[in-house]
Amino acid sequence: MGVSTLSDKQLNRARLLVSCLDRPGIVSVLSTFLFKRGANIVQSDQYSTDPAGGMFFMRIEFDLHEDDTFQQMNEQFTEIASQFQLHWQLSLARKKKKMAIFVSKEDHCLMELLWKWRAGELDVDIPLVISNHPDSKQVVENYGIPFYHIPVNKENKLEAETKMMKLLQQAEIDFSVLARYMQILSPSFVERFPDRIINIHHSFLPAFIGANPYAKAFERGVKLIGATAHYVTNDLDEGPIIEQDVIRSHHRYSSDELRVLGRNVERTTLARAVRWHIDDQVIVHGNKTIVFSS
Write the pLDDT tens digit of every residue in 224-236.
778 899 999 998 7
DSSP symbol at 226: E
Return the pLDDT at 134: 97
Return the pLDDT at 228: 92
CATH class of 8-92: alpha beta
C-beta of residue 178 within 8 angstroms of C-beta of residue 200: yes
The sign of the CA dihedral 134, 168, 128, 108 is: positive
Return the pLDDT at 236: 79
Of 205, 185, 213, 184, nearest in space to 269 by CA: 205
Average pLDDT over the chain reads 88
Could you give the CA distance from residue 15 to residue 45 in angstroms, rounded to a whole number? 11
Is residue 51 reached through a cis peptide bond, with omega within 30 degrees of 0 on the bond before it? no
C-beta of residue 273 within 8 angstroms of C-beta of residue 229: yes
Phi, psi dihedral angles at 287 (to 5 degrees): -105, 25
Burial class (CB in 10 A: 0-12, 13-18, 19+), 86: buried
Could you give the CA distance from residue 209 to residue 227 in angstroms, rounded to a whole number? 11
Beta strand 282-285 pairing with 288-291: antiparallel
Instruction: Indicate the range of 14-28, 182-196, 235-249, 273-287 predicted with least confidence.
Output: 235-249
Centre a 10 Å sphere on the Cβ of residue 206 and count the other Cβ atoms it contains: 10
Could you give the CA distance from residue 269 to residue 253 in angstroms, rounded to a whole number? 22
Query: Does 270 have pLDDT greater than 60?
Result: yes
Burial class (CB in 10 A: 0-12, 13-18, 19+), 98: middle
Q: H or E segment at 218?
A: helix 213-220
Which listed CATH number (3.40.50.170, 1.10.3720.10, 3.30.565.10, 3.40.190.10) goes with 97-291?
A: 3.40.50.170
- State yes or no: is 237 an active-site residue: yes
Query: Does 91 have pLDDT greater than 80?
Result: yes
Query: Does 42 have pLDDT greater than 80?
Result: yes
Return the pLDDT at 117: 98
Domain boundaries, the chain: 8-92, 97-291
Beta bridge partners, 130, equal 102, 148
Of 19, 40, 23, 29, nearest in space to 76 by CA: 29
Could you give the CA distance from residue 114 to residue 111 in angstroms, rounded to a whole number? 5
**Catalytic residue (choose from 22, 107, 123, 237):** 237
Query: Does 283 have pLDDT greater than 80?
Result: yes
Q: What value does the mean pLDDT take over residues 151-175?
A: 96
Of 34, 238, 26, nearest in space to 14 by CA: 34
Query: What percent of the chain clears pLDDT 90, i.e. is strictly above it?
Result: 67
Q: What is the pLDDT of residues 107-140, one digit of tens each?
A: 999 999 999 999 999 999 999 999 999 999 999 9
Could you give the CA distance from residue 91 to residue 42 in angstroms, rounded to a whole number? 15
C-beta of residue 275 within 8 angstroms of C-beta of residue 121: yes
Q: What is the pLDDT of residues 195-210, one digit of tens each?
A: 999 999 876 545 666 5
Return the pLDDT at 122: 97
